[in-house]
Structure 1
Amino acid sequence: MSSPSPPRRRIVGVSTKMYFSAARTKQYVQELLQIISSSSSSSSSSPSELLSRLDIFIIPDHVTLASVVSQLDGTGILAGAQDAFHEDAGAFTGEVSPAVLAEVGCRIVELGHAERRRLFGETDADTARKAAAAARNGLVPLVCVGERARGEAAAAAGECGRQVEAVLASVPDDAEVVLAYEPVWAIGAAEPAGADHVVAVAQRIMALECVRRRRGTTRILYGGSAGPGLFEKLKDGVDGLFLGRFAHDPAQFYRTILEVAAA
């Protein structure tokens, strides 16, 4: 009889999108690291002990990514990119090479966000090619999936499932993948999607054959107006949270990190 699979590590992170200046990004990372250090020194938990329980990532804009990598060096916190092209090199003016991202120390790359799909017409096929490129360069694809309109969990999971299947068909079976479930209708909303809905959809996504048969680790996050107190309600369905503007306050980000670690 096979032994049960070990629990997946929890994971929590933030994207700054295009909200911050370069100076603000540097200040934000400094403030977060100071909060982690000072909070740990006043409690029994050290930063390394905190990070041993979960993965933390910060995804700044492309211009400041290299400096953020430098700031995070030795902390255990992962630096990520907001997008990457599907080719490593070539005549692709304005695009960002996944090979160069890996070279400068990027660890994770966000792909297929609803804004990329809406504003730039990106498709499931585009996201799949980018995810394959990220994986072959040793980056973890953080793939955003979500239904466009509010509806029943089964219908939402069906729409998300097609997005997931397209990506996983292109990514090596042993590559690590993180799925970010973000109902499009909940992004930027005053309230997140209902906890019962999120858990039901996330469980259905993780039960897909294309997910269950993989040898590589597959984790799932919730994003979409995510904030404090939410993870406790979602922990039976997701492995963590993908935060937006709420976490642009480093103190609030740290508060959520603690909640995810302790729930």
Structure 2
Amino acid sequence: MSSSAPPTRRRLVGVSYKMYFDLAKTNDYLEAVLPPLSRLITSLNQPTDVFVIPDFLTILPYAQIIKSNNSPLLLGAQDSHHSDAGAFTGEVSPKNLAQAGVKFVEMGHAERRKLFGETDESVALKAEGAVRNNMIPLICIGEVTKGGGVQKAVDECWVQVEQVFAKIREDAEVVLAYEPVWAIGASEPASAEHVVAVTQALRQKAHSLGRSGVVRILYGGSAGPGLFTKLEEGVDGLFLGRFAHDPKAFLETIKEVGGGVK
């Protein structure tokens, strides 16, 4: 076990489009977000990284536009196969994603676990594939059991990532996106106190491994104005869904996560 201080962590905020946007809306979103983003990021009080995760069809044109505008916006992918190449019809290679300019690869989302049979083992393999190609695994975690308390939540979440930490390089960066599965779509989300307690405990467990790689933790649940300030003692930022499908809401959230503007 290492007693050294954990690596420095920048704040992080991003949005996934899931399968909500058609191509026209996808283009409109980038046109709305990209022009003000560079100035906003440089004016924030806290160093902050910003990413978007569109569908696969949009990754290449997004990458080209981001590059041509010299924008700090980072790209993610909603999934990846674990192998770089092979007879895997319909899958997307992590090698190709890296070559396309992808920085983060999302994996382990509750929807993919429920609908497509994704497991802790397959997530670990995908994380290894992402790291092998110099991308960052963005691993969605969350306890299924409601009312089990903080320790029960931590134990359930840790099972979802322990194979990842065992399989990837010690110096590899990882992002954990936490949201209790029982709170997804619920009328009342998990309390801020619960989220902070669980994420603080998960960070301590990750640090106890003595890893040299940065481990950032996001809250991945429903967001709204003022949410991050209630959670910042436990998380490094927010991983947003439909709330941030409004470009103005996304930009305002970036400002909040970044500690406001100078």
Q: Same fold (TM over 0.5)?
A: yes
The one-character-per-residue Cα deviations of 1:34-84 (angstroms, maximum 9, x if unpaired) are 3436xx4xxxxx543449710000000111111111222221110100000
The answer for the alignment partner of 2:180 in structure 1 is: 183
Rounded Cα–Cα distance in structure 2 between residues aligned with 1:6 and 1:132: 21
Rounded Cα–Cα distance in structure 2 between residues aligned with 1:91 and 1:221: 34
The answer for the alignment partner of 1:34 in structure 2 is: 35
Unaligned runs of 5+ in 1: 41-45
Rounded Cα–Cα distance in structure 2 between residues aligned with 1:212 and 1:259: 31
The 1:225/1:189 distance shift into structure 2, 3 A limit, reads farther
Maintained 8 Å contact 1:219/1:239? yes
Q: 1:126 aligns with which of 122, 128, 132?
A: 122
Maintained 8 Å contact 2:8/2:214? no
The answer for the alignment partner of 2:203 in structure 1 is: 206
* SS of equivalent to 2:258: helix
Rounded Cα–Cα distance in structure 1 between residues aligned with 2:5 and 2:112: 38
How far did residue 226 of structure 1 move?
2.0
The 1:225/1:28 distance shift into structure 2, 3 A limit, reads same
Q: 2:60 aligns with which of 47, 62, 66?
A: 66
Rounded Cα–Cα distance in structure 1 between residues aligned with 2:60 and 2:46: 25
Rounded Cα–Cα distance in structure 1 between residues aligned with 2:187 and 2:255: 23
Unaligned runs of 5+ in 2: none
* SS of equivalent to 1:34: helix
Equivalent residue runs for 1:132-147 within 5 Å: 132-147=128-143
Q: Which moved more, 1:127-136 or 1:49-58?
A: 49-58
The answer for the alignment partner of 1:169 in structure 2 is: 166
The 1:165/1:63 distance shift into structure 2, 3 A limit, reads same
Maintained 8 Å contact 1:188/1:224? no
Counterpart amino acid of 2:73?
I
The 1:191/1:68 distance shift into structure 2, 3 A limit, reads farther
Counterpart amino acid of 2:32?
E
The 1:121/1:211 distance shift into structure 2, 3 A limit, reads farther
The answer for the alignment partner of 2:90 in structure 1 is: 94
Maintained 8 Å contact 1:112/1:143? yes
Counterpart amino acid of 1:198?
V
Maintained 8 Å contact 2:220/2:238? yes
Rounded Cα–Cα distance in structure 2 between residues aligned with 1:142 and 1:51: 25
Maintained 8 Å contact 1:211/1:218? no
Rounded Cα–Cα distance in structure 2 between residues aligned with 1:96 and 1:163: 23
1:84 counterpart = 2:80: yes
Rounded Cα–Cα distance in structure 2 between residues aligned with 1:112 and 1:217: 19
Maintained 8 Å contact 1:189/1:224? no
The answer for the alignment partner of 1:249 in structure 2 is: 246
Rounded Cα–Cα distance in structure 1 between residues aligned with 2:6 and 2:142: 27
Maintained 8 Å contact 1:186/1:225? no
The answer for the alignment partner of 1:43 in structure 2 is: none
User: So what's the TM-score if we normalise by structure 2?
Assistant: 0.92
Q: Which moved more, 1:68-77 or 1:50-59?
A: 50-59
Rounded Cα–Cα distance in structure 1 between residues aligned with 2:102 and 2:30: 15
How far did residue 213 of structure 1 move?
1.1
User: So what's the TM-score if we normalise by structure 1?
Assistant: 0.91
Rounded Cα–Cα distance in structure 2 between residues aligned with 1:91 and 1:58: 29
* SS of equivalent to 1:27: helix
Maintained 8 Å contact 2:106/2:137? yes
Counterpart amino acid of 1:69?
A
